């Protein structure tokens, strides 16, 4: 964010010199329609008490009062007021549309998260946090080729998430609550310690102040499973997000959704030993191009079988990210 804003003083001066604005605001009592119902934060109230632009106009004619310096206030005619209101109404509509677009994008993001639920929607902030963790976790899996162990992977996903969201993630990934709970980290942040209710299972996301996030490397140091040792090992070099990974400017990586498709034992119960079989939702076009019609992921990461869900439709970009492209094209 490189935007620079005017200093407060400059802003106030700017506001005070903007005669049309307080005129418009001072004429607020004329606004009887829907948009006038909201006159937020004191500014308006303060402005419309004293100044009446029409009075200012009149003061020029009776010579008794000292002449004011600065720009002359223009009379707030009905036409100007209408223009002002029309502009405001238009801007409001644009802003609504913009926010709806933002929310739609957020909804799309929710759908490709490991735990998507129409009934229990992740909040905006939790969606973004989970997305960040998800990208991070998947990147590490791809780059290291290591097997994500069940708990460890969930821990990565849950870093910095609220307790309810962590529970949701753990639940969606069908990780046994007890196993997760009992083998939790010895290293706990004070923040998280204080957040554990005792009456129910709660997956506690380990040691991440939230917000803001701390350094990813320090988070990785909290990871116990040997699977992720490599992630903090400098010899593994440049692949952790906060360090030296060059910014990715290529096409979007398609959503890779772990959707709770665990291997099942013969009795139908989930086999947690073979958990985290990845269910990839790849657009068929890119896959056909890259790998014929096979839907199995066989490459530098042979451990993971990625059955392709051809029914996935919502992702518009028939592209794969560079890492997956490299794998597919081998």
Partner DNA sequence: TAGGCCATCTGGTCCT
Partner DNA sequence: AGGACCAGATGGCCTA
In degrees, to the nearest 5, what angle opens at C-alpha 24 toward C-alphas 19 and 26? Answer: 95
36 is a contact residue toward DNA (CB under 7 A): yes
* 123 contacts: CB under 8 Å, gap ≥ 6: 165
d(CA 76, CA 57): 10
Site residue total, DNA (CB under 7 A): 42
Q: Figure out which of the listed residues 23, 56, 126, 140 binds DNA, where binding follows CB under 7 A.
A: 126
43 is a contact residue toward DNA (CB under 7 A): yes
191 is a contact residue toward DNA (CB under 7 A): no
Q: Figure out which of the listed residues 11, 191, 252, 326 binds DNA, where binding follows CB under 7 A.
A: 11
55 is a contact residue toward DNA (CB under 7 A): no
Q: Which is nearer to DNA, 87 or 229 (CB)?
A: 87
**In the 3-class helix/strand/coil scheme, how is 150-217 assigned residue by residue?**
HHHHHHHHHCCCCHHHHHHHHHHCCCCHHHHHHCCCCCCCHHHHCCCCCCCCCCCCCCCCCCCCCCHH
Angle between helices 124-144 and 78-111 (to 10 degrees): 40
Q: Alpha carbon of 175 to those of 29, 150, 178, 261: distances in Å?
A: 60, 7, 9, 12
95 is a contact residue toward DNA (CB under 7 A): yes
Q: Figure out which of the listed residues 71, 72, 99, 264 binds DNA, where binding follows CB under 7 A.
A: 99
Checking 183-190 for CB contacts under 8 A at 24+ apart, the result is: 183/151, 185/155, 185/222, 185/224, 186/224, 187/222
Q: Which is nearer to DNA, 128 or 285 (CB)?
A: 128
Would residue 208 be called left, alpha or beta, if left means φ above 0 and alpha means ψ between -120 and 50 degrees? beta
Residues 102-121 that bind DNA (CB under 7 A): 103, 121
Q: Figure out which of the listed residues 44, 115, 220, 320 binds DNA, where binding follows CB under 7 A.
A: 44
Give the range of 19-27, 221-229, 252-260, 274-282 binding DNA by CB under 7 A: 19-27
In degrees, to the nearest 5, what angle opens at C-alpha 71 toward C-alphas 70 and 75? Answer: 135
35 is a contact residue toward DNA (CB under 7 A): yes
Give the range of 59-67, 89-97, 170-178, 214-222 binding DNA by CB under 7 A: 89-97
Binding mask 144-163 for DNA (x = CB under 7 A): ------------------x-
d(CA 274, CA 30): 69
14 is a contact residue toward DNA (CB under 7 A): yes
Q: Figure out which of the listed residues 55, 105, 108, 125 binds DNA, where binding follows CB under 7 A.
A: 125
74 is a contact residue toward DNA (CB under 7 A): no
Q: Figure out which of the listed residues 68, 72, 75, 98 binds DNA, where binding follows CB under 7 A.
A: 98
Give the range of 12-20, 221-229, 256-264, 275-283 binding DNA by CB under 7 A: 12-20
Q: Alpha carbon of 128 to those of 112, 124, 134, 305: distances in Å?
A: 12, 6, 10, 27
d(CA 38, CA 43): 12
Binding site for DNA (CB under 7 A): 1, 3-6, 10-11, 14-15, 18, 21, 24-25, 35-36, 38-44, 87-96, 98-100, 103, 121, 123-126, 162
């Amino acid at each position: 964010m490189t935007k620079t804003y005017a200093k407060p003083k400059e802003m106030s001066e700017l506001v005070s010199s903007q005669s049309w604005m307080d005129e418009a605001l001072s004429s607020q009592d004329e606004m009887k329609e829907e948009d006038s119902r909201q006159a937020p934060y004191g500014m308006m109230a303060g402005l419309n008490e004293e100044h009446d632009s029409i009075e200012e106009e009149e003061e020029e004619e009776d010579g008794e009062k000292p002449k004011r310096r600065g720009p002359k206030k223009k009379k707030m005619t009905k036409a100007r007021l209408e223009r002002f209101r029309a502009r405001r109404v238009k801007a409001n509509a644009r802003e609504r549309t913009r926010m709806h677009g933002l929310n739609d994008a957020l909804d799309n993001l929710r759908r490709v998260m490991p735990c998507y639920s129409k009934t229990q929607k992740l909040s905006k902030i939790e969606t973004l946090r989970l997305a960040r963790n998800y990208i991070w976790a998947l990147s590490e899996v791809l780059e290291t080729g290591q097997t994500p162990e069940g708990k460890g992977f969930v821990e990565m996903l849950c870093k910095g998430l609220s307790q309810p969201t962590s529970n949701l993630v753990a639940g969606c990934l069908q990780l046994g609550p007890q196993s997760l709970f009992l083998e939790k980290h010895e290293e706990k942040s004070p923040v998280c310690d204080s957040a554990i209710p005792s009456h129910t299972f709660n997956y506690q996301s380990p040691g991440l102040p939230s917000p803001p996030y701390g350094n990813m490397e320090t988070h990785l140091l909290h990871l116990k499973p040997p699977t992720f040792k490599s992630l903090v090992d400098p010899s593994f070099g440049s692949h952790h997000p906060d360090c030296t990974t060059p910014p990715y400017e290529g096409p979007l990586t398609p959503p890779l959704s772990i959707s709770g498709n665990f291997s099942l034992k013969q009795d139908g119960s989930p086999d947690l030993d073979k958990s985290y079989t990845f269910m990839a939702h790849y657009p068929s076009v890119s896959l056909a191009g890259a790998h014929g019609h096979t839907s199995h992921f066989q490459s530098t990461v042979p451990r993971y079988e990625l059955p392709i869900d051809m029914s996935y439709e919502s992702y518009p970009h028939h592209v794969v990210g560079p890492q997956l492209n490299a794998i597919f094209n081998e």
